[in-house]
Every structure is written in C-alpha cells, then in structure tokens.
C-alpha cells in the first residue's frame, strides 16, 4: 500500500500555551516511523507559532483549522493563507462540519478556501460527511459526492496530488458514536470511486482519505486497518496525550504489519 498514513489531531477551540507545550512535549517522546506514518497537529491560530517552535518539523507537521478565502487586506478577523505559510504551517483544514454548521460555510466557500491554500503551496485537508438525518434518508453518497465535487471540481490531477480528504460523518463527531469500520470503509471506497470517475486511477489510488469522528485509542486499529482508510482526523482524543499516543501506535501497528483488509 503506497499511501502513507496520517494521524492528525484537530484541537478545535481548545488549548493554552501551557497545555499545548505539555501536549507537544508528550508527543515528541513517542516513536513512530516517519516513512510510513505522519503525525500532524492542528492547534487554534493563537498556538500555531508556539507549536511550530516546539515540534521537529520532520517528525510532527502543523496545520491550521481554517483559512480565509480572501487574499491579505481589509478583512477584519480573518487569517490569510499567506500568514499560515509565514508561520511555517504545512496543512490547513477546510470544510470542517463545525464550520459548515455554525458558520454557514457552503461548498463554494470551501472551494475558494481550498484554492487559496493550493495557491500558496499548503496542503488542504478537505472534510466531507453527512448529517444523521441524511444517513437515515439514504443520502450519504449523494451528500459526499456533492461536497466532493463542490470543493474539488475544476482542479487538475496535479493539484489533486496536493490534497488530502477526511470523511467525517457529522453524527460521529464529538458524540462517542464512531462509524463502524465497515460503514466508514464503504464511504471511503465510494470516495475513491468518485475520484476515479472525476480524475483518474492515479489520483484515486494516491490521495489520502482520513476517517474522523470519535476516533480513540480503542477503536483506531480496526478503522485504520480498512483498505481505503489512510489515517485519522482526531478531535477530542487528540487533546489527551495518552489517547493520541494510542492512536499513533495503532496506526504504526497497521502500517508495519500490512494488515489493511
């Protein structure tokens, strides 16, 4: 399996200078093989510089949780993609369901943000996923397909090579109700099929698709062992050093044992 795993911690709106320093210090002493597994943290904006100063970039990547769709200028309160480059970020999330739900971000805005990131050479992690009501009405694939083409439509294959995706069913985020490995794998396989149809086999085979939604140290291994799941986007459990360490260990176990099914 050529795709590298990525275990990413989305800290959301949590953390002080002290708690961030403690968390990063705890991660830095862990062991994983960077050739097969990448670890990234996504602190809130005020902790990006601190995190970047604390990590060894070859070991732990740092990303932002959002980015402005605008270029630098008179946009009070916004953070431009250029600033993320300036502090040394490698990644940024776009289209997280909390941004879609609480800040009314639509597919067009997600697409604009994603393009800003690509323009400055940052790697977007584009989040997609259905609401519980949408799943119950059998609309999961339609919603995911719409979000994918809304965000990614018009990108060429080369640009797609700089994108990662995260499938995060909204009903599983922060609820403790994790998708079963089979439920997650089904949607991941569907995502790869969409990539194949809209681009080509090499895009579909090469793109990292993470799973997110109540991932913890106990359930990570079974999820990560699925053929089309290339890592985890972890919220709550990424704030607890031991839980996050357990997820990294699960990722390593799967990556080195070649047990993906």
Instruction: Give me the active site residues, please.
Output: 96, 168
Q: Is 92 helix (H, G, I), strand (E, B) or coil?
A: strand
Task: Indicate which single residue of 64, 94, 143, 234 sits in contact with ligand PGA (rule: CB under 6 A).
Answer: 234
Task: Indicate which single residue of 57, 121, 153, 174 sits in contact with ligand PGA (rule: CB under 6 A).
Answer: 174
Q: Residue 100 — φ and ψ, nearest 5°? A: -65, -45
Confirm if 107 and 151 have CB atoms less than 8 A apart. Answer: yes
Residue 65 interacting with ligand PGA (CB under 6 A) = no
In whole angstroms, the minimum distance from the beta carbon of 88 to ligand PGA comes to 22
Residue 10 interacting with ligand PGA (CB under 6 A) = yes
- Considering the complex, state which of residue 121 and residue 174 has its C-beta at the smaller distance from ligand PGA: 174
Report the residue number whose CB is nearest to ligand PGA: 235
The span from the CA of 37 to the CA of 72, in Å, is 34
Residue 233 interacting with ligand PGA (CB under 6 A) = yes
Residues pairing with 161 in the sheet: none
Q: Which of 144, 232, 236, 234 is nearest to 191 (CA)?
A: 144
The span from the CA of 68 to the CA of 112, in Å, is 9
Q: Which of residues 197-226 bind ligand PGA (CB under 6 A)?
A: 212-215
Find the part of the chain contacting ligand PGA (CB under 6 A) among 33-41, 74-82, 166-174, 247-255: 166-174
In whole angstroms, the minimum distance from the beta carbon of 231 to ligand PGA comes to 12
Residue 134 structure tokens: 């949408």
In whole angstroms, the minimum distance from the beta carbon of 160 to ligand PGA comes to 22
Residue 235 interacting with ligand PGA (CB under 6 A) = yes
The span from the CA of 191 to the CA of 15, in Å, is 33
Residue 9 interacting with ligand PGA (CB under 6 A) = no
Q: Please, what is the end-to-end C-alpha distance for the chain in angstroms?
A: 11
Find the part of the chain contacting ligand PGA (CB under 6 A) among 53-61, 108-116, 201-209, 231-239: 231-239
- Considering the complex, state which of residue 81 and residue 223 has its C-beta at the smaller distance from ligand PGA: 223
Total site size for ligand PGA, rule CB under 6 A: 13
For helices 140-152 and 181-198, the axis angle rounded to 10 degrees is 40
Residue 73 structure tokens: 């200028």
Residue 203 structure tokens: 């895009």
Q: Please report, as ranges, the residues that interact with ligand PGA according to CB under 6 A.
A: 10, 168, 173-174, 212-215, 233-237
């Amino acid at each position: 399996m050529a795709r590298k795993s990525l275990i990413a911690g989305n800290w959301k709106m949590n953390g002080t200078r002290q708690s961030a320093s403690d968390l990063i210090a705890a991660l830095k002493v862990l062991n994983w093989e960077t050739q097969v597994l990448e670890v990234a943290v996504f602190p809130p904006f005020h902790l990006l510089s601190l995190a970047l100063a604390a990590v060894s970039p070859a070991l732990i990547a740092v990303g932002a949780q959002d980015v402005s769709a605008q270029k630098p200028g008179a946009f009070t309160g916004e953070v431009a993609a250029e600033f993320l480059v300036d502090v040394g970020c490698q990644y940024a999330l776009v289209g997280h369901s909390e941004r879609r739900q609480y800040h009314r971000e639509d597919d067009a805005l997600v697409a604009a943000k994603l393009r800003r990131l690509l323009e400055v050479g940052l790697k977007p992690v584009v989040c997609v996923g259905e609401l519980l009501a949408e799943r119950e009405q059998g609309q999961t694939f339609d919603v995911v397909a719409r979000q994918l083409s809304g965000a990614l439509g018009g990108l060429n294959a080369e640009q797609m090579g700089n994108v990662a995706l995260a499938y995060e069913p909204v009903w599983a985020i922060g609820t403790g109700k994790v998708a079963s490995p089979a439920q997650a794998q089904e949607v991941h396989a569907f995502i790869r099929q969409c990539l194949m149809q809209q681009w080509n086999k090499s895009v579909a085979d090469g793109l990292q698709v993470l799973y997110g939604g109540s991932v913890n140290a106990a359930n990570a291994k079974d999820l990560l062992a699925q053929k089309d799941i290339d890592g985890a986007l972890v919220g709550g459990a990424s704030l607890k050093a031991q839980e996050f360490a357990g997820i990294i260990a699960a990722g390593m176990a799967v990556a080195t044992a070649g047990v993906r099914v």
